[in-house]
Amino acid sequence: EAEVAQSPRYKITEKSQAVAFWCDPISGHATLYWYRQILGQGPELLVQFQDESVVDDSQLPKDRFSAERLKGVDSTLKIQPAELGDSAMYLCASSLADFNSYNEQFFGPGTRLTVL
């Protein structure tokens, strides 16, 4: 069964360091999402790609966060420098398309980031 892959599963870093997360969506899925989930809350969309183009990054803290999906397949989310408040689960999801109200998103296992 096709799955969304993410790595690493866990990351511990010190504040002011750089971290990077990788996501490989289900083959053929044009839309890719990065969510941040703070403990005790629901996921919040950080950035959404349609193929290689960013369609929504309104909630991405662009002074420290960056995301790319250069070939429209896998994607990398980077934080530089990391801050204590960035400690959270980072979830990647993918879907076939994003053009109507029905949109089943398939989620990866997430990367749990701890910033010390």
By CB under 8 A, is residue 112 in contact with other proteins?
yes
CB of 45 to other proteins, least distance (A): 7
By CB under 8 A, is residue 106 in contact with other proteins?
yes
Distances (CA, A) of 50 to 42, 47, 53, 87, 95: 23, 10, 5, 27, 10
By CB under 8 A, is residue 53 in contact with other proteins?
no
Among 40, 53, 70, 71, binds other proteins (CB under 8 A): 40
CA 19 to chain centre: 13
CB of 21 to other proteins, least distance (A): 13
Distances (CA, A) of 8 to 11, 43, 88, 90: 7, 19, 14, 10
Q: Site for other proteins (CB under 8 A): how many residues? A: 25
Positions 70 through 99 that interact with other proteins (CB under 8 A)? 89, 91, 93, 98-99
For the chain, the C-alpha Rg in angstroms (whole number) is 13
- What count of other Cβ atoms lies within 10 Å of the Cβ of residue 55? 12
Q: Please report, as a single letter, which amino acid is at residue 64.
A: R
CB of 37 to other proteins, least distance (A): 8
Residues making contact with other proteins (CB under 8 A): 40-45, 55-56, 89, 91, 93, 98-110, 112
